[in-house]
Amino acid sequence: MTRQPHDQFAKEYLEELLTSLGNVETSKDVKSEVREIDVWFVPNNSAQKYRGER
């Protein structure tokens, strides 16, 4: 849960925007000094066509 409404809006917006291009997770726990990241995005293979790669 975020403390700021605009932060929650940004997470939801990015999740909606990136879902068709790959895997999106919000509020993902990571192992490092930072305990949580807001948005984690991994593009899928079909996203390459948007970048013009093969």
Across 17-30, b (16+ Cβ under 10 Å) vs e yields ebeeeeebebeeee
Taking alpha carbons only, the member of 38, 41, 13, 43 closest to residue 28 is 38
pLDDT per residue over 13-43, tens digit each? 989 998 988 988 887 776 766 577 788 888 8
Distance CA 1, CA 4 (A): 9
More confident residue, 13 or 54: 13
pTM: 0.53
Two tokens at 27?
A: 């509020």
pLDDT for 49: 64
